[in-house]
Structure 1
Amino acid sequence: MDIRNYLSNSRKRSHKEVASDSDSDSDSTSDNESVMPDPRCTQPAQLVQSKSDKKKAYKSKLTYRQQWKLKYSWIDCANAEMGMFCVICKKYGKPPGNARGAWTTRGITDWNHATEMLKLHNDSKWHKDAAITAQMAQQSDLSVLELQNAASARDTKERKKKNQAIILKLLCSIYFLIKHRIPHTTTFNDLLALQVANGDEQLAHHLEQSPGNAMYTSKFSLTSLIEAIATWLRRKLLKSLRESPFFSILADECEDISTQEELSICCRWIVDGQAEEHFISVLHVLACDAETITEAIESFIASSDLQYRKLVGQGYDGAAVFSGCRSGVQVRMRTHAAHAVHVHCACHRLQLASIQAAKTVPEIQKVFGMMGNIWKLFYYSPKKMQALKEVQAVLGLPELKVVKPSDTRWLSHERCMRAIRKELPALITTLQQLYETTGDAEAFGLSTLLSCFTGVASICFLSYVLDTLAKMMLPCKGR
């Protein structure tokens, strides 16, 4: 029993010792874990901390360098924390608004980019102007403010001179396009590019260096340039018109593409003993009655500062609105200028008289109708026009187009008949080919009229008559 008790007690003690040892080991392990951190976690933090420390150390070493003073003598840096200043600009300069006091009231402390900033400031225009002002201050007794004002005035004058030269180039370019009836909105930039390619350095510098809102190449700027040209020309013409002892007014109304009624006004006056005629203005009118048109003409005369006592003539078409003997425009205008003689356009009257006389002769009326049908046949069919050109090339004839004859357009019948007479062999051949290939009845009828004796004789006779009438009309048109 004693032995058994002894063995059981010894086993209990051994179990307690093992448990206490394991508890002590776990405590020691936890203590060690709290003291010794995991190296896998500490390694990146140490690396990041070392990079930031290196960056801070590098920035702390950046400061003002004395060697900059050797290259740029205008540097003033009494305290590195206050930054660098420019002695010249601080005393004599007028920095631009976007500088925000840099180099004058606010020092430069960006040592990392100090080299580039020093070079930029040394090459800047306002620093160079300040240097010129400082040099002038040493040679004159003027104050700094007076020197700055003189430099500013000189700079403004130079800039104004350059801008005037650029504007003149742009005006000449847009005037060239308008003079040759070339669309300016699509070709203006190409024309400027051509001038730059031909060696215009001043224009090239303007297009490269000017800001986007000061290039004067937008549609709004082009419209402003055109209006400026029109204003200048109108002022020049009106000045000459006012100086003339006499003048007359020519007016006619029409409808533009936007169905807006417009009244075009031309004037004829004396310059150095010679009569000159120029287009002056286009007026928008709300109606085409005699009262509205008269008010528009009166408004034009008043705004142009013209005198009714100098108005000696007025020319319009034969419409009753203008030429009516009771309430037409010409009668209403005589209430202001009783000596303003009304003249119906001579070319218009001759054209109307010729058309009216031609209607009394059936053969001539038939030829006039044939002229209109020939124009329609080829004008509205590019395929037929191409066939006519091919026949003209084979026969060695010039490529002439048949002009549209109009009863109210003088010289139109003469030009149309001249083209038909010169292209008569090509027209007959083309019309016969069109009938043989397509069976076009209209082409067959026209070819028959052109080939018969009566048709050829009428064409030759009318060519002579219309040519004579054209010679009578040309002096009336001032040619």
Structure 2
Amino acid sequence: RLNQSRLLNVIKDRVVNTIVKRIGKNPWTIILDSTQDTSKKEAVVILVRYLETDDEGRVFPVERIINASSLTRTTSQELLNRVENLVNKLQLDYSKLVGQAYDGANNMFGGITGLQTRLQAKAPHALYVWCHAHRLNLVSTQAMSCTTEMKNCIGVLGELHSFFSGHVRYGVLLGEQRQKGNNSYCLSLSSPMVDLKRFLIIFNLLNSRSLLATVTGKVRK
């Protein structure tokens, strides 16, 4: 296992060094995002975006991952330290850093102590851009909150998610129902842009005589 880890680290270093060579003295931007994994650790991914030229002389933007790690704290200073250590290690040119893209959280977006403000002190040309995917998610949340029917639907889905994930027994029962033919869904509500087919599938499960009888101890008439 130790040899495998060393081999993977060597491969990672070779890939990252190749990316750095391709960036060279060209302008580049940094993209950073974080999320909690199943073990409740904060996983942080850092990417660079820059321009490459193909064999026919056409210029096109590319995005490449250069680091993935975990953090115990997600303050703007901790994130800045992680970025600075990586940039210094790879000897990337701060003067060529022309953009930075994160979500709209205070530790990223803050105009006084946010990561984008701290990084601009070192790279004045690094224009901050709020991640379009995160903005779309916020817009969809507000749009879906405008109708009572959609709010009720999402509320019911949230209750179902809590119900099935809150007890091992219920999760097992749901798994048994999936094995009987409904395999095209999962109970994940990380985004308000939910698939209504999930609602119909789970609704049918809740109307199943066997499932209701096992959960409630009663048989529907």
Measured against the shorter chain, the TM-score band is 0.7 to 0.9
Task: For residue 229 of structure 1, give the secondary structure of its aligned residue in structure 2.
Answer: helix
Q: Deviations over 1:11-33 (max 9, x none)?
A: xxxxxxxxxxxxxxxxxxxxxxx
CA distance in structure 2 between the aligned counterparts of 1:304 and 1:250, rounded to whole angstroms: 16
Describe how 1:323-334 pairs up with structure 2 within 5 A: 323-334=109-120
CA distance in structure 1 between the aligned counterparts of 2:51 and 2:202, rounded to whole angstroms: 48
**2:9 aligned residue:** 227
CA distance in structure 2 between the aligned counterparts of 1:439 and 1:305, rounded to whole angstroms: 60
Q: Deviations over 1:434-470 (max 9, x none)?
A: 46634749xx9xxxxxxxxxxxxxxxxxxxxxxxxxx
CA distance in structure 1 between the aligned counterparts of 2:38 and 2:186, rounded to whole angstroms: 25
Work out which of the residue numbers 321, 326, 350 in structure 1 matches 2:136.
350
Residue 253 of structure 1 and its aligned partner are, at CA, apart by 3.5
Asked whether the equivalents of residues 378 and 385 of structure 1 are also in contact (C-alpha less than 8 Å), the reply is no
**1:383 aligned residue:** 173
**1:430 aligned residue:** 205
Does 2:36 match 1:252?
no
CA distance in structure 1 between the aligned counterparts of 2:28 and 2:101, rounded to whole angstroms: 11
Asked whether the equivalents of residues 76 and 107 of structure 2 are also in contact (C-alpha less than 8 Å), the reply is yes
Q: Deviations over 1:402-455 (max 9, x none)?
A: 341124xxxx734x32444xxx3x5444322246634749xx9xxxxxxxxxxx
CA 1:336 to 1:363, structure 2 compared with 1: closer, same or farther past 3 Å?
same
Work out which of the residue numbers 77, 80, 91 in structure 2 matches 1:305.
91
The amino acid that maps onto 1:225 is L
Residue 354 of structure 1 and its aligned partner are, at CA, apart by 1.7
CA distance in structure 1 between the aligned counterparts of 2:205 and 2:134, rounded to whole angstroms: 35
Q: Deviations over 1:260-305 (max 9, x none)?
A: 6553211111111111111111355564222232232122212111
Task: For residue 336 of structure 1, give the secondary structure of its aligned residue in structure 2.
Answer: coil
Unaligned runs of 5+ in 2: 54-58
**1:11 aligned residue:** none
The amino acid that maps onto 1:413 is M
Q: Deviations over 1:23-61 (max 9, x none)?
A: xxxxxxxxxxxxxxxxxxxxxxxxxxxxxxxxxxxxxxx
CA distance in structure 1 between the aligned counterparts of 2:213 and 2:189, rounded to whole angstroms: 28
The amino acid that maps onto 1:437 is A
Task: For residue 300 of structure 1, give the secondary structure of its aligned residue in structure 2.
Answer: helix
Asked whether the equivalents of residues 140 and 193 of structure 2 are also in contact (C-alpha less than 8 Å), the reply is no
CA distance in structure 2 between the aligned counterparts of 1:430 and 1:261, rounded to whole angstroms: 35
Describe how 1:76-475 pairs up with structure 2 within 5 A: 219-242=1-24, 245-254=26-35, 263-272=44-53, 273-283=59-69, 285=71, 287-377=73-163, 380-390=170-180, 392=181, 399-407=183-191, 413-414=193-194, 416-420=195-199, 424=200, 427-434=202-209, 437-438=213-214, 440=216
CA distance in structure 2 between the aligned counterparts of 1:258 and 1:387, rounded to whole angstroms: 27
Task: For residue 430 of structure 1, give the secondary structure of its aligned residue in structure 2.
Answer: helix
Task: For residue 413 of structure 1, give the secondary structure of its aligned residue in structure 2.
Answer: coil
Asked whether the equivalents of residues 309 and 337 of structure 1 are also in contact (C-alpha less than 8 Å), the reply is yes
Residue 340 of structure 1 and its aligned partner are, at CA, apart by 1.2
CA 1:357 to 1:257, structure 2 compared with 1: closer, same or farther past 3 Å?
closer
Residue 226 of structure 1 and its aligned partner are, at CA, apart by 1.4
Asked whether the equivalents of residues 266 and 281 of structure 1 are also in contact (C-alpha less than 8 Å), the reply is yes
CA 1:439 to 1:403, structure 2 compared with 1: closer, same or farther past 3 Å?
closer
The percent of aligned pairs where both chains have the same amino acid is 24
CA distance in structure 2 between the aligned counterparts of 1:373 and 1:365, rounded to whole angstroms: 12
CA distance in structure 1 between the aligned counterparts of 2:36 and 2:176, rounded to whole angstroms: 33
Asked whether the equivalents of residues 316 and 344 of structure 1 are also in contact (C-alpha less than 8 Å), the reply is yes
Asked whether the equivalents of residues 371 and 417 of structure 1 are also in contact (C-alpha less than 8 Å), the reply is no
CA distance in structure 2 between the aligned counterparts of 1:258 and 1:378, rounded to whole angstroms: 20
Task: For residue 279 of structure 1, give the secondary structure of its aligned residue in structure 2.
Answer: strand
CA 1:222 to 1:439, structure 2 compared with 1: closer, same or farther past 3 Å?
closer
Residue 389 of structure 1 and its aligned partner are, at CA, apart by 4.2
Aligned residues: 208
